[in-house]
Structure 1
Amino acid sequence: MTPTDRTEGLDDEALGAAPEHEAEPHSGFLTDAAHWLSGVLGPEQRSAATIRRVLDVGSGPGAASCVLAEVFPRADVVAVDRSPALLSRARARAAERGLTGRITTRRAERPDEFGRLGPADLIWTGNVCRHLGDQQQALRSLASALRPGGMLAVAERGLPPRFLPRDIGIGRAGLQARLDVALEAQFADTRAGLPDAISVAEDWPCLLASAGLVPAGTRTFLIDFPAPLDLAVRRHLQARLQRTLTELGERLDPVDRLTLEQLVDAEAETGVLWRPDVFYLTAITVHTARLCRDRT
């Protein structure tokens, strides 16, 4: 249930590659966020001992699942996604890291299935709710899977990535600003067309409180890779820009479309695989809340 899992016109096998690239520049963030969650839950030794079951909802290829299993060594982790191909990748990733016995997978497609995933001491979900029509109901469903004292951690938005100077020497200056506008317009249209779409103010602590939870803290994590980038992050950017080129379609003017085509060209020196001025800077915000009483 990652954002790329909803790209129209791509099959599951094609979708599987995009989250793999996504995991490369974000792996350090996931580790930092998991350790922060451990601290929010209590002293490290106590939290590591009391967290016995973790759900990674919208797991994609299992990057967060593996990090959570490592940070909470006594926990069983369930990777949850709607894509069988991505769940297969999650199992393979767990096997590569010697975590096969502690990470299992579960397929779930609709928010009303989230409540049947529990019980859990910790639920992690990244960029899932904003792709569901009724975000408030999705949070209520996730909260219903928590044990008393359990925590829901929701990673949503932050700051859009920056990876190019304002003037890159081809096309018109200010390309990224225009891409941001076009992507936001496309996302708004997509949200409006979701089943049961309801417009809500995306005040995540308030939404978590309305789901019956007590907000426990919010933190924004900076992801900063200065130029020159290594190949793994460059490949992530190339895949991201290729998806942007595919998804935006007619929203781009001809000059910006041509510029994007040059940036994703693997052979051209103007492409992100070769440019010396490419960097990667973004921020991801994680909101947490706890169930402080028994629902019964």
Structure 2
Amino acid sequence: MARVAFLGLGVMGFPMAGHLAASGHEVTVYNRTAAKADGWVATHGGRAAPTPRAAAEGADFVMACVGNDDDLRAVCLGETGAFAGMRAGAVFVDHTTVSAAVTRELATTAGAAGLGYVDAPVSGGQAGAENGQLSVMCGGAADHYAAAEPVIAAYAKICKRMGAAGAGQMTKMCNQIAIAGLVQGLSEALHFAEKAGLSISEVVEVISQGAAGSWQMSNRAATMEDGRFDFGFAVDWMRKDLGICLDTANETGASLPVTALVDQFYKDVQKMGGGRWDTSSLIARLRKLD
């Protein structure tokens, strides 16, 4: 069992930290809104710390799951940042989806301070976090990953090192690119079924068993039919991620025409007031166009 700090207790971080406590690790939590950290302690035990630095002091591993590049820098750097409190040889594990550039920047800073660094973005949404069934894609030195993997296992269905620092984030971009196209395709299929007078549930029952089947179809088709979009990953966060994908594609020379188009469709959903709806809300845009 390890001494672990967890920074960021949102819809993903709160249950992830809970799985660490349930696995027997000694967990200290930090959240920008202290009341949420206090609520976590009331539920899971452990203790709350007032700053990332205080949470990280004495920890073997420091996990983070925050919002974006700037949020990650804020919890890592400066006098109250986690790096200032970590002992030499401790490993920082970042579960936030951020740019590969900030990952490499922070990994270099951590290395200069004698710290390990693993970028470990996750996929599986809120349900995956709550059920301990996340896919975790990692980048970083092999020895740092090997040390962290048994701890990450508390909430992982699969955890795999993809390469050096930044490789985990690049893999997460592949994940978001694939999801964007899949959800738009599913939205169009369900919308087409509606306009054709077909039963969506019966259509899905049939086509989900063939080549069109997907996780999105199995888990979101019914709620999309009902117009319920309070599941999983919010549109605002998806647009943040797709922005990272498109910026990186410009740097690498990759062509992402469908991703660029779907990003604009999500912008339309935001204009409809759906920024906090989950990503399956693309179908709401099609219905509005009727």
The TM-score with structure 1 as length reference comes to 0.40
Q: Which has the higher contact order (CA 8 A, sep 6+)?
A: 1
Which structure's residues are more often strand, by fraction? 1
The TM-score with structure 2 as length reference comes to 0.41
Which structure's residues are more often helix, by fraction? 2
